[in-house]
Amino acid sequence: MLKIFQSLKENKIIKKYEVLDFKQGDNFYYIKIKAILINQSILTIREYNSINERIYSYHWQKKNNKLIYRWDNAPYHKKLKTFPYHRHSPNKVEESDEIYLEEILKIIENKIQNK
């Protein structure tokens, strides 16, 4: 979990962030964070981690709340080869490997810089 905060603090595309929810037990944690990026887009990060399970959602949207991408592993879209891992864009759902915040931030940084 500390890796999440380190990634947010060290990444130059993060303008600010706020922890919206946090729960922790002996063998798990759940965190929800809203990050405002330098281009005013928003990244909502949700992660649940336990010894046996990892559930995540990284939802990147424009300032006007329109979806750019969301990566998650909700158990839907069973026909995808990468099930349960997938990525939503405004008009489709596509395959995606399991992904972590550090990788998401690199993808977003590349998209922002190439605009």
What range defines the domain where residue 24 resides? 2-113
C-alpha 1/C-alpha 31 separation (Å) is: 9
Summarize pLDDT for 94-106 with one digit per residue, the tens. Answer: 999 999 999 999 9
Summarize pLDDT for 4-57 with one digit per residue, the tens. Answer: 999 999 999 999 999 999 999 999 999 999 999 999 999 999 999 999 999 999
| Mean of pLDDT values over 84-111 | 97
Residue 70 CA: distances (Å) to CA of 31, 47, 52, 100: 17, 13, 23, 12
In this model, does residue 113 exceed pLDDT 90? Answer: no
Q: Are 49 and 42 in contact (CB under 8 A)?
A: no
Q: Are 104 and 58 in contact (CB under 8 A)?
A: yes
Task: Tell me how far apart the 2 most distant CA atoms of the chain are, in Å.
Answer: 44
C-alpha 32/C-alpha 53 separation (Å) is: 17
**What is the domain count for the chain?**
1
